[in-house]
Structure 1
Amino acid sequence: MPQLNPNPWFFIMLSTWLTFSLIIQPKLLSFVSMNPPSSKTPTTYSTTPWTWPWT
């Protein structure tokens, strides 16, 4: 059964993961985020509960 023969597919998988890990991933991580997270604290708004006329 050719599906169980790992000879060509293991090398392809290994070379793909090495290419991604060593070449593509550092290039992608070097980009600066256009929307960095801000360090200011989030503002909380005080809300008043709705007064229902039938309660």
Structure 2
Amino acid sequence: MPQLNPTPWFFVMLLSWLTFSLIIQPKLLSFTPTNSPSNKILTTTKSTPWTWPWT
């Protein structure tokens, strides 16, 4: 059963993680977000309970 041999798959996994960690991730982290978070005051709304017709 060749799929149980971890030698080629471990190399593929290692290469893909190194590619992601060293090349793709720094490029993605260099972008600045377009909507920066703001300090909003959270207001709680008072909800009325649902009146069921059969009660």
TM over 0.5: yes
2:53 — aligned with what? none
Query: Sequence identity of aligned pairs in percent?
Result: 68
TM-score, normalising length: structure 1? 0.69
2: distance between equivalents of 1:31 and 1:39? 22
Pairs within 5 Å for 1:12-23: 12-23=12-23
Distance in 2 between the 1:45 and 1:37 partners? 20
- Segments of structure 2 that go 5 or more residues without pairing to the other structure are 49-55
Paired residues for 1:1-55 under 5 Å: 1-39=1-39, 41-42=41-42, 44=43
Runs of 4+ in 1 over 6 A off after TM superposition: none
Q: CA RMSD in A?
A: 2.1
Q: Unpaired segments of 5 or more residues in structure 1? A: 50-55
2:51 aligned residue: none
How far does residue 38 in structure 1 lie from its aligned partner after superposition? 1.2
TM normalised by structure 2 equals 0.69
The CA deviation at 1:7 is: 1.2
Aligned mates of 1:2, 1:46 — CA distance in 2: 61
